[in-house]
Amino acid sequence: MAGPMQRASCLYWDWNATTPPHPDVLAAMQRAYTEHWANPSSPHQAGRAARACIEDARERIARLLGFDARDVLFASSGTEANNLALRAASGLVVSRLDHPSIVQVAESLQALGRPVVWVPSPETGRLDPDRVLEAAWQLPEIHRSHAIVAVTAANHETGVLQPVAELALALRGSGLRLHVDAAQALGKLPWSAFAGADSYTLVAHKIRGPQGIAALGWQGRAPEPVLLGGSQERGLRPGTQSAALVAGFDAALRRMDPLRYARLEPLRDLLERELAAYASVNGAGVPRLPHVSNASFRGWSGERLVAALDVRGVCVSTGSACRVGTSEPSAAVRAMWGAERARGALRISLGEDLDERQLMAGIAVCLSVLVNQS
């Protein structure tokens, strides 16, 4: 029987967009829907049981981050968590490599007159901590006390890893806060690779958890709410929490193992070698997520190649799923190499259970499309 990521009609190579929920996650959610359906804010025993389910998961995330559990809140998505983290900043330092939920917040704050410094994007896609620090010092001094440097730990389109630990060290003592969108990094590499930031965004559906639940953890100055209403999540994210979604997130966190992804690196490299005659890899030569390949294909638009592979049963993408419905090419590749190379960019993100037989079957489909383009 085909697995959840290997449906009979589809070879799913789009794990950066979302991952299939794991059976352990679905089981945990079913238990929570059955046993912890009460409102977690209710004072009676049913409400307290639902709240305990939520608080257990909050404690697990806090231990992962090294933060106090009081400083972890649940949100509906990574986009919401990033907005919560950044919208109150007195100034921002960001790059065009970042996720749209960072870039568009920066553009919004800039339109309101707050200072935003854009760090130049190198062709490698990996930021230089010294350049980031230089950019940070361009912020007017009056705005630095509540300013934030924001980075996407693992790029959602290319898989390129940012030097978070080095950035945290470079910013130490500067008064600037470091926010890290760790949505794609979580579970793929040891957490120590991203330690040292002041706040983090984590997303459940990138680690085989449910869609609709994410977390923001921070140290120091609390974020300001985007929504107003009840006192849930310290009043920073009001609204009735879902114990079932949180239980699914917790189950996904408990099964994380970076070794599942480490074994994909040689398969990813084999894929790139097999397609090398037709494409140039974006982000080659710098640390990347082991399961992600972003390549620009000569003579193709990424959109056209996605469609051609889709009808043959291979699911890939041109980049961020947040840009669905648009014809825009990869923003990250455009920032690295320009519009022409971005136009032909394709993202392949492999699944944790992929084997070489499945990989070679997918490669054969890709080659048949590329060889017979006309």
The residues, ordered by sequence, that sit 6+ positions from 59 with a Cβ below 8 Å of its Cβ are 69
d(CA 350, CA 328): 23
Contact, 318 vs 302, CB < 8 A?
yes
Contact, 130 vs 170, CB < 8 A?
yes
Structure tokens at 92: 């921002």
Structure tokens at 62: 């806090």
Identity of residue 63: R
Structure tokens at 115: 């200072």
Structure tokens at 340: 């022409």
**Is residue 322 annotated as a catalytic residue, yes or no?**
yes
Beta strands 177-181; 11-12: pairing state:
unpaired
Cα atoms in the 13 Å half-sphere on the side-chain side of 220: 15
Of 10, 53, 315, 322, the catalytic one is 322
Q: Which of these, 171, 98, 174, 166, lies nearest to 143 by C-alpha position?
A: 174
Identity of residue 137: W
List b or e across 155-193, with b for residues whose CB sees 16 or more CB atoms inside 10 angstroms: bbbbbbbbbbeebbebbeeeebbbbbbbbbbbbbbebeb
Q: What is the DSSP letter of 160?
A: B
Catalytic residues: 322
